[in-house]
Structure 1
Amino acid sequence: MEKNGLHEDNSKTMLTQYGFAPSTKWTQYFGSILATIAALIIGTHLSWSSSAVPTLTSPNSTLLISEYEGSWVGSIITLGACVGAIPTGSMTNWIGRKRTLQLLTIPLLVSWYIIAFSPNVWGLYIARFLAGIGCGAACVASLMYVTELAEPKNRGTLGTFFQLQMTVGFLLGYTLGGTIESISMVALISSAFPVLFLLTFSFMPESPVYLALKCKTNEARESLLFFRGADYNVDDELTTITDNIQSLSLTTAKFSDLYANKAVIKAMVIALALMFFQQLSGINAVLFNALEIFQQSGTTLSPNVCTIISGAVQVIATYVATVLIDKAGRRILLVLSGGIMSVCLATLAVYYYLQQQQYDLSCFYFVPLSCVAVYLIVFSIGLGPIPWMIAGDVFLPQVKGLACSVSTTFNWILAFTVTKLFLPVQSAIGIGFTFGIFAIICVCAAVFTIFVIPETKGKTLEEVQILLAGEEECNSYDNCVKITV
């Protein structure tokens, strides 16, 4: 027995010595959870307007605002996010991913205090715009940090933490807004999450990729050892990171590279189209104005209870989506998502139209909550996460950073447009017709997916480029990846 035990100990020693000791996963999961608390904070900010705007526009409000001002309070955060997202890529390369996240959590914190003590609507505008700057920047920096600390085999799973934490933030925002009447108190309680993030994330090391980028090889090694385990041989991974940095530093992507050939043009069209369909599906209009939607539904359940249920459904659906996305193809989930969302939105459109025509719909009180719940479920497995995944699948490394920056900024611009115009359009044509427009756009998303988007699951970059350019114009991989630099 001792002989066998000695043999096992020697085997483990040899495995460790030659770099075959298994890496530890819990530190990668722990680091990703802490980094994506930023997404949770974003979720609380984005969901705040759902309960706050109806309260602020009600006659009993201590800070009474008009519906027009309410539309700005709800939407200006997305305008701030456009501003915040643009310089973040450069900032992360200048001061680091970790420091960028910590620095830009400050406006997310300060904005809550401004909301809590604001004497007028302009204070709310400033607070929401500041929050938007932090949201836009955190989206970029948090995802970069998680991607760079993760091993390739864990990157897909850890990459879903951002979306999952954001849905948790929405649930927290709905719960606080639905159970606490005071807007100031909701803001003060919500401010605890940025403080929690700043305290806990400060103990995390900087991204190993950033440290290698700054030629801090020893610190990059220590960061990798923290996330992989002290017994893991990180030499090969560190060499790969260094080589990739050197190869990427040889060229700088230009906007002309985004239309260098047919494959890149089609990839850009797909990325921008999916961002368009994601936002014009009405998701932010539903999430930001959930309480208002349920108030108009006439349901016997409290509108606040409905929003909390919707938030919980979205958390569960997003968790389930992390499994489905890895097993099912992208196209089928996009088609199902667009198709089912269109049915839910069309049903809501008919329901609210009939309600405006004074029909008695008391027997169908369950329709709004059921439709919104199903809508959020199918969004979470399709049009929610997949547009971001497709962007990573279809672009070449040379243009991926620039292309993703362009598509992300486009996404936030659309988010601002939808959230800003939702309430005015709803007032002009009615909530029923507004949902009808969203339903038509979701049908277009499904049709576009069927005829334009290739299946990228399980395919190499070469195969994806051939699919994008077409066999007749892409007979070799070299022709597909040729980029003018």
Structure 2
Amino acid sequence: MIFISGTLSSSFQLMLCCGILYTYAFGAVASYYSIAIACTILPLIFVAVFFRAPETPVYLLKKGLRSQAEMSLKTLRGSQYNTTRELHSLQNELTKQSQGQTSFAKALNRREAKYALIISLGMMVFQQFSGINIVIFYSSKIFDAAGSTLKAELCTILVGLAQVVSTLVSMVLIDRAGRKILLQVSATSMSICLLVLGYYFMKKDRGDDVSSMGMVPVAAVIIYILLFAIGFGPIPWMMSGEVLPADIKGVCTGIAVSLNWTLAFLVTFSFQMLTSTLGNSGTYFLFAGICACGLLFSTFVVIETKGKSLQEIQDELAGKA
């Protein structure tokens, strides 16, 4: 499981991208109210299907329901799967955790816990401050403002499709190439694309003739999306699960996710204010600079977790490896 953890963890980002593409495609041909209804149908389907999902074996073992935990494992692994060894391993891990249980504040005082939390929160910060939600939510306005020759609706569908395709590519690469290199490529490429976008709007806003550059913003946005989705899209989500120690993982993952969506709201909410204050070009140059900082963070702070067990990761964070 260690060697496919990246692929499995990337499925979260893939579902996000599929949802965005679904909304873009439906929004191109339907009214606002129809989109709302269409987006309501999917959660209802999910609720109906999820009733058949098994409870997690770890939760059942915590509750002392060993026979139900065995049934859950067989549902997840297959009816012919021998659950004895895995159940024994899970039970030993839970026993070890309960014996070494300590307060959250004390657990967070360990070097590896602090380092892991810095990585988790830092990744969420740079994911949102890369400007991804601005590009997604305002893509049609970006293309309209740029004077693109393609219809804004078609451009946004291309953006959504680029996200899905590149996330699929990321799922293949992430357990082969590693996390750090994908983050570094992602941050570098996003910074360049935003610089190109900023340069285009700088020329346009000062009255230069940009009629021959109509495809530049479209290409910059699509490449930006492609490279975001192979690195800073999926990897921050999986990093929390990979680097955080087991005894603080639940609380710290909640903190990281809350920070992510809070920043998503703040960045999206402030976009209009930023463009009014800094102009279109200044706004994109600002986010390009933040992506460059994300490159430095990925290079000097984030550790490589590819193919490593949780214990090996914790030893490296603690400075023992």
- Pair in the same fold by TM > 0.5: yes
For 2:52 and 2:305, the matched residues in 1 are separated by 38
Alignment of 1:449-460 (within 5 A): 449-460=298-309
2:14 alignment partner in structure 1:
164
For 1:389 and 1:178, the matched residues in 2 are separated by 32
1:255 alignment partner in structure 2:
105
Aligned letter for 2:17? T
Indicate how the Cα distance of structure 1 residues 212 and 465 shifts in structure 2: closer, same or farther if over 3 A, else same: closer
Flag the structure with larger Rg. Answer: 1
Alignment of 1:200-215 (within 5 A): 200-215=49-64
Aligned-partner SS, 1:160: helix
Alignment of 1:77-88 (within 5 A): none
Is structure 2 residue 227 aligned with structure 1 residue 378? Answer: yes
Deviation at 1:155, TM superposition (A): 4.4
Deviations 1:217-271 (A, max 9, x none): 222222222222222221222222233233333415413422x233332222222
For 1:295 and 1:225, the matched residues in 2 are separated by 53
Aligned counterpart in structure 2 of residue 368 of structure 1, from 188, 195, 217? 217
* 1:253–1:398 Cα contact (<8 Å) kept: no
1:402 alignment partner in structure 2:
251
Aligned-residue Cα RMSD (Å) equals: 2.1
Indicate how the Cα distance of structure 1 residues 198 and 393 shifts in structure 2: closer, same or farther if over 3 A, else same: closer
TM-score (norm 1): 0.62
- How many residues are treated as equivalent by the alignment? 320
Aligned letter for 1:168? C
Deviations 1:347-384 (A, max 9, x none): 00111121111222121111111111111111111111
Indicate how the Cα distance of structure 1 residues 220 and 290 shifts in structure 2: closer, same or farther if over 3 A, else same: same
Is structure 2 residue 42 aligned with structure 1 residue 193? Answer: yes
1:142 alignment partner in structure 2:
none
Deviation at 1:152, TM superposition (A): 5.8
Indicate how the Cα distance of structure 1 residues 466 and 222 shifts in structure 2: closer, same or farther if over 3 A, else same: closer
For 1:464 and 1:289, the matched residues in 2 are separated by 39
For 1:206 and 1:318, the matched residues in 2 are separated by 28
Deviation at 1:447, TM superposition (A): 1.8
Aligned letter for 1:165? M
2:163 alignment partner in structure 1:
314
Aligned counterpart in structure 2 of residue 265 of structure 1, from 110, 114, 122? 114
2:80 alignment partner in structure 1:
231
Is structure 2 residue 286 aligned with structure 1 residue 437? Answer: yes
Aligned-partner SS, 1:299: coil
Aligned letter for 2:119? I
Indicate how the Cα distance of structure 1 residues 172 and 400 shifts in structure 2: closer, same or farther if over 3 A, else same: same
For 1:358 and 1:427, the matched residues in 2 are separated by 18
Aligned letter for 2:26? L
For 2:104 and 2:270, the matched residues in 1 are separated by 33
* Aligned residues with identical type, % of pairs: 39
For 1:340 and 1:224, the matched residues in 2 are separated by 42
* 1:171–1:311 Cα contact (<8 Å) kept: yes
Aligned-partner SS, 1:232: coil
For 2:119 and 2:5, the matched residues in 1 are separated by 23
For 1:273 and 1:399, the matched residues in 2 are separated by 17
2:195 alignment partner in structure 1:
346
* 1:253–1:402 Cα contact (<8 Å) kept: no
Deviations 1:185-219 (A, max 9, x none): 11112211112112222223222322222222222
Aligned letter for 1:277? F
Indicate how the Cα distance of structure 1 residues 439 and 404 shifts in structure 2: closer, same or farther if over 3 A, else same: same
Alignment of 1:70-219 (within 5 A): 155-180=5-30, 182-219=31-68
Indicate how the Cα distance of structure 1 residues 173 and 334 shifts in structure 2: closer, same or farther if over 3 A, else same: same
* 2:10–2:235 Cα contact (<8 Å) kept: no
Indicate how the Cα distance of structure 1 residues 153 and 466 shifts in structure 2: closer, same or farther if over 3 A, else same: closer
For 2:298 and 2:156, the matched residues in 1 are separated by 30
* 1:253–1:399 Cα contact (<8 Å) kept: no
For 2:315 and 2:80, the matched residues in 1 are separated by 42
Aligned-partner SS, 1:249: helix
* 1:349–1:431 Cα contact (<8 Å) kept: yes
Aligned letter for 1:211? L
Structure 1: runs of 5 or more not aligned: 1-150, 478-485
* 1:338–1:445 Cα contact (<8 Å) kept: yes
For 2:60 and 2:304, the matched residues in 1 are separated by 35
1:323 alignment partner in structure 2:
172
For 1:340 and 1:156, the matched residues in 2 are separated by 21
TM-score (norm 2): 0.92
Deviation at 1:166, TM superposition (A): 1.1
For 1:390 and 1:161, the matched residues in 2 are separated by 14
Indicate how the Cα distance of structure 1 residues 279 and 236 shifts in structure 2: closer, same or farther if over 3 A, else same: same
